Amino acid sequence: FDLGQHLYDLTFKMFGKYVFSVPKDHIRLVGPGSTRCSGRVEIFHGGTWGTVCDDGWDLNDAQVVCRQLNCGSAVRALGSAHFGPGSDPTWLDDVDCSGSESSLTECRHPGFGTENCGHDEDAGVICSDHIRLVGSGSTRCSGRVEVFYGGTWGTVCDDGWDLNDAQVVCRQLNCGSAVRALGSAHFGPGSDPTWLDDVDCSGSESSLTECRHPGFGTENCGHDEDAGVICSDHIRLVGPGSTRCSGRVEIFHGGTWGTVCDDGWDLNDAQVVCRQLNCGSAVRALGSAHFGPGSDPTWLDDVDCSGSESSLTECRHPGFGTENCGHDEDAGVICSGEKSFSTVIGPSVSWSLSSVSSVCSSMCSQIRLVGPGSTRCSGRVEIFHGGTWGTVCDNGWDLNDAQVVCRQVKCGSAVRALGSAHFGPGSDPTWLDDVDCSGSESSLTECRHPGFGTENCGHDEDAGVICSGEKSFSTIPRVDLINPPSSTDAEKFHYLCNFCPEDWSICLLVSQLCFLHVFLHVLVGLRSSSKDSFHRLTICSVFKMFGKYVFSVPKDHIRLVGPGSTGCSGRVEIFHGGTWGTVCDDGWDLNDAQVVCRQLNCGSAVHALGSAHFGPGSDPTWLDDVDCSGSESSLTECRHPGFGTEDCGHDEDAGVICSDACASVVYSEQIKWSWDSVCDHHLVKDD
């Protein structure tokens, strides 16, 4: 009998389970369906494993557990014994972690064994396992991307890193949709190894390692190129036919994704969703489970947003889970952030002509003109790439390049190709340099260039354009009719006089009179002061009588004006009885605004505004109680009690904001001239 061996065996039978089965940090995930990184949370205390109660259990608590187990980021914080009930004791209750603690027992709690729970309340977690977001300024759903491979966490290089790649990361972490795909170690540099480079995801993969890449550790990057993401966290767009910027709206609450009911769902609500997801403006607010029905729960109903909120849950609503809807009423959105028409159309989506037009218009959202002194058709050229707006360098920048930009933003032809930060310097990044367009390309990025971000420029070299699409008073030539103008001036003057729709006979008459006047000067060279006075009297009389029709009345007799207005936003005014007048906001809604935006070729209605949002107009008020179905071709076709039949003050003047995506040039800009000054200063010279 070997007493030593007997004692050795007895010791292992009694205590081996503690030696071998207690992890370093005294925490484990167990239960039916559990894995290394998902399961019922149990901690080891007082020589015994026990459970954690789900009172107050949330993602911050789960985040600490996942970090403690080296399992990446928390994907879900689960309660109600999701992984089956444990057995006594319950060691922790009312756990309150900030998310930064290194172990669960460091979090605030009332003490071991202080609890009022049954095991049907046992807490659980699901961790991301092989992926996490870390770094300076990181959160659960934003940070430097790191993957776990070969027993070690390593970074991902930003070569080719884009929103498709970020979308996979965000989905894998249960963090909603990708908002930005970041490079250049935005969340600080990591440390060796760099596990992935040249990642190429389609966006539909379930994990980042499923995407195409040259192999773990095959890379040529420094940690100043570490990739990062920002995810939407608590909101996502899903369903059949959905894309990153269109789909059924779902929000994350209480550890579960749920739908939003379409009761009262409108463009203001959709606008908040689109902004929250960094997807541009709302194009459509959809109901009736347009992107397919979701599943319980329905988290929100009767949502009422003003449109300015930063997240959907900030909007007025009766409370999470307070609803009377079926999933055939699930709400959806289509945002303008889509890059191509083909990615927007789902397999079971029906489209009206207006909605197709809106989405087509939104395609140009990847280029913009900005900067001091810019307009819709002139400014510093910026393009959207890799989740960020950036500039274009002026090296080799010429009219062919500018022509492509002007065509892409529906602004006519290129007038000037400008460099040297003519519209002010932008900020990093500079996306394009040495752009070489033939002039026939449909977008700037189709032109030859060395690659996104390949440049050697400062922002004092930012490129700009002026397109012909803008019409303003400053473009009108000063024509001296006492000293006969050149034929070039005559052509310009004819252009000035012909600044009106060709189907108006009065405009044609004035155009002909204008051109005849200049033509006579060119051919005959009239000099006598008496004849000059006669011609001055003739043309100025014509302009004073009919100039307002020539210059300020668009074909459709509607315009948007007022403080802060643009070509596609402002106080609505219509032309009737020879006078511009306002529209009252009684009953003014998005259907009415939709007609105005369509009439002005300004995309879709984003806001229908009242209470003289763009300042009060002046008498008359032409329309009140306008009631459009939304399909009319002009506002005056809508139901209304008659021109001038109203009971409104100008503090009730109606306005609109249209999506303004690639809107065609609208010749309704208000040219604030005095016709006396036009005649005296621009058309004739004082004797």
Tens-digit pLDDT profile for residues 98-136: 888 889 999 999 999 999 999 999 999 988 778 888 898
Angle between the N-to-C axes of helices 505-524 and 529-552, in degrees from 0 to 180, rounded to the nearest 10: 150
Q: Which of 330, 355, 343 is nearest to 249 (CA)?
A: 330
Per DSSP, what are the bridge partners of residue 334?
A: 246, 284
Hey, where are the domains in the chain? 19-127, 131-231, 235-341, 363-467, 473-552, 558-658
CATH 3.10.250.10 fits 19-127, yes or no: yes
Q: 641 preceded by cis ω (within 30°)?
A: no
Reduced to 3 states (helix: H, G, I; strand: E, B; else coil), residue 182 is strand
Q: Give all strands (DSSP E) within 86-207, no chain letters.
A: 90-92, 124-127, 131-139, 142-149, 152-156, 178-182, 194-196
Inter-residue contact 88 to 46 (CB < 8 Å): no
Inter-residue contact 617 to 577 (CB < 8 Å): no
Per-residue model confidence as pLDDT tens digits over 217-235? 999 999 999 999 988 778 8
Q: Burial of 642 by CB count in 10 Å (0-12 exposed, 13-18 middle, 19+ buried)? A: exposed
Per-residue model confidence as pLDDT tens digits over 403-450? 899 888 777 778 889 999 999 999 888 999 999 998 888 789 888 898
The owner of tokens 């050697």 is 456
Reading phi first (left if > 0) and then psi (alpha if -120 to 50, else beta), residue 143 is in: left
| Assigned token pair, 197 | 């480079």
**Whether pLDDT at 579 is above 50:** yes
Per-residue model confidence as pLDDT tens digits over 170-208? 888 888 788 788 999 999 999 989 999 999 998 888 889
CA atoms within 13 A on the CB side of 98: 4
Fold agreement between 19-127 and 235-341: yes
CATH code of domain 363-467: 3.10.250.10
Query: What's the CATH fold of domain 131-231?
Result: Mac-2 Binding Protein (3.10.250)
The rounded mean pLDDT for the chain is 76
Inter-residue contact 150 to 196 (CB < 8 Å): no
Q: What is residue 471's predicted lDDT score, i.e. its pLDDT?
A: 36
Inter-residue contact 336 to 274 (CB < 8 Å): yes
Q: Give the rounded distance of the alpha carbon of 446 from its chain centre.
A: 23
Angle at 280 between CA 275 and CA 283, to 5 degrees: 100
Q: What is residue 261's predicted lDDT score, i.e. its pLDDT?
A: 96
Specify the higher pLDDT residue, 228 or 279.
228
Give Cβ neighbours of residue 320 (< 8 Å, ≥ 6 apart).
Answer: 253, 254, 299, 300
Query: What's the CATH fold of domain 558-658?
Result: Mac-2 Binding Protein (3.10.250)
**Whether pLDDT at 601 is above 90:** no
The owner of tokens 């977008």 is 443
| Sequence letter at residue 157 | C
Specify the higher pLDDT residue, 418 or 366.
418
Q: 235-341 belongs to which CATH class?
A: alpha beta
Share of the chain above pLDDT 90, in %: 35
Per-residue model confidence as pLDDT tens digits over 26-70? 899 999 888 878 899 999 988 899 999 999 998 889 989 988 888
**Whether pLDDT at 668 is above 70:** no
d(C-alpha 498, C-alpha 478), whole Å: 16
**Whether pLDDT at 357 is above 90:** no
pTM score, two decimals?
Answer: 0.41
Cα distances from 271 to residues 280, 282, 315, 380, 652, in angstroms, run: 8, 5, 12, 26, 24
pLDDT band at 361 (very low <50, low <70, confident <90, very high): very low
| Stretch 8-21: mean pLDDT | 46
Per-residue model confidence as pLDDT tens digits over 479-518? 333 333 333 333 333 333 333 333 333 333 444 444 444 4
CA atoms within 13 A on the CB side of 251: 20
pLDDT band at 387 (very low <50, low <70, confident <90, very high): low
Q: What is residue 443's predicted lDDT score, i.e. its pLDDT?
A: 83
